[in-house]
Structure 1
């Protein structure tokens, strides 16, 4: 797998075209799981791990990679399977960057990368229940016919290990704006229920009305329906906060569609994603987002929302 991630610069061209590439791996038997290539730094064999006392039970230990201590999460155990065994030769580490942190996921065999489109990525079936660890599923063809790929909700896995605090730091909230916040609407678009909960938990403290959509296509249809009814989308919403990666339509494509519709082109769009900042800065300019912030930063979410309200009210 050493060369499989060497063309990431070329792959950035896929984003904004509603396309993505998935890194496939196994956790148990033949079932395939996946995460987005853009969140993967490298794939390596398991180095020696140091167990630290008091760490979460799904953290196998810490690996020292290029002088940096990286926590290693047993992904198999984290999503409800029996724990991994480090003595098995097929075990690998996927080193990732999420929410401005680096961590490794202990998995089984790493297969390959597949190029696909977000329109071919579907939400998990409702019969999977609310406690599943999937954001989406897809299908690929292999030698044995068609196979289902399960895309892991890494946001949920990390939230169960890391305590994400939704409280707002002292001094961040502008008391002069408090009354003006109450009742204004914010649209949150994210396929991860955990991520939506984090944003909702932060912004609801401001008295805002939160509207939620699970993917870009659902959000676009909602906005289009409002416009078809003659409602002014930019008056209805203070802003929209959207994830980048979502089934059916990603956040980049959603933003591009909004900008091309004169009825909603002035909607304030904030990209809120766990993908790397340097990559998203370029994508923000390409598709026309107003702001990019990386997950999960409650104080920054509040600041961005307050700044938008100040603009609406004409306050410097």
Structure 2
């Protein structure tokens, strides 16, 4: 499929974000924080529910609530981001219900505005000083809206590590070392989330791969060029697999995949998508376009099994 047809099929050049606000204070000065979450991760927006206590030492977990017989943790997003609320401007809070990486959560925000369609070319990686709030690890990208206002796109995946929400799922016995099939060669992975890269790298190393990592699609293409300079026509014998996220600034996973498919040097290298977006539509579209697999972050056993199936 050509890049033009690929973009037409999936609007690959754009991302849709739910625009919501948090009213905070910097010193004694009020400001309105503008944040975005991929609409694919948002199920609905509700008024504040009845909250039940949940034992925790994390002050940003307000408790849990019952949403149509599903118990969901409720996170105060301003506290998680380290923002001091401007109580004088907060009249009525709302809850953004999300599902990503197979986990449902509710985030308390001060206002939900609209859905915005943003060109991926207008999204830049987060770049903050070490003293910035929120920290860079909690923001995956930035973009301008309404002229000169800055929207921060949140890296909600990092909250899974903070909250250790894997504990909400029934644990699986880990694979013994001798059960993990070993591979030679290189695996490249592309992901803008620092926390996701750490987990993926650790798993690929356990499988015997040498690893090359990239932070977005453009960086991934640059790393592929470097590998080609090193291995030339033997690249396919050395680079066994590419694992890519879908949501990334500068160049998203679908666009990255289309560039690989167009290049005869790289098109035979199998690509596995590893995304926190867990809707069936996204997964099926990816498979229809030719990726070898679509996984929802992050089940290490399934990740290992899928790679073993792809590589044989």
> How does the TM-score come out when normalised to structure 2?
0.84
The answer as to 2:168 corresponding to 1:139 is no
- Alignment map for 1:31-180 (pairs within 5 Å): 31-54=33-56, 56-82=58-84, 88-125=90-127, 127=129, 131-132=135-136, 133-141=138-146, 145-162=147-164, 169-171=174-176, 174=179, 177-178=181-182
Q: Distance in 1 between matches of 2:9 and 2:156?
A: 21
Q: Distance in 2 between matches of 1:226 and 1:88?
A: 52
Offset of 1:274 from its aligned partner?
Answer: 0.8
Offset of 1:305 from its aligned partner?
Answer: 2.5
Which residue of 306, 309, 312 corresponds with 2:308?
306
Could you tell me whether the CA contact under 8 Å between 1:16 and 1:283 is conserved in 2?
no
Q: 1:64 to 1:16 in 2, by over 3 A?
A: same
Q: Distance in 2 between matches of 1:199 and 1:84?
A: 39
Task: Give the SS at the match of 2:73.
Answer: strand
The Cα offsets for residues 104-138 of structure 1, whole Å up to 9 and x where unpaired, read as 11111111111111111100126357942111000
Offset of 1:277 from its aligned partner?
Answer: 4.1
Offset of 1:14 from its aligned partner?
Answer: 7.3
Offset of 1:31 from its aligned partner?
Answer: 2.0
- Alignment map for 1:208-219 (pairs within 5 Å): 208-219=209-220
User: 2:17 matched to which residue of 1?
Assistant: 22
Could you tell me whether the CA contact under 8 Å between 2:17 and 2:36 is conserved in 1?
yes
Offset of 1:252 from its aligned partner?
Answer: 1.0
Structure 2: state its 5+ residue gaps: 1-6, 25-30
The Cα offsets for residues 268-316 of structure 1, whole Å up to 9 and x where unpaired, read as 100001112412222213431110111111111111223344x3xxxxx
Task: Give the SS at the match of 1:127.
Answer: coil
- Bigger CA drift: 195-204 or 122-131? 122-131
Could you tell me whether the CA contact under 8 Å between 2:101 and 2:296 is conserved in 1?
yes
Q: Distance in 1 between matches of 2:293 and 2:66?
A: 35
Structure 1: state its 5+ residue gaps: 1-11, 312-316
Task: Give the SS at the match of 1:49.
Answer: coil
Pairs aligned (count): 291
Q: 1:276 to 1:257 in 2, by over 3 A?
A: same
Could you tell me whether the CA contact under 8 Å between 1:217 and 1:254 is conserved in 2?
yes
Q: Distance in 1 between matches of 2:165 and 2:97?
A: 21
User: 1:197 matched to which residue of 2?
Assistant: 198
Offset of 1:237 from its aligned partner?
Answer: 1.4
Could you tell me whether the CA contact under 8 Å between 2:59 and 2:79 is conserved in 1?
no
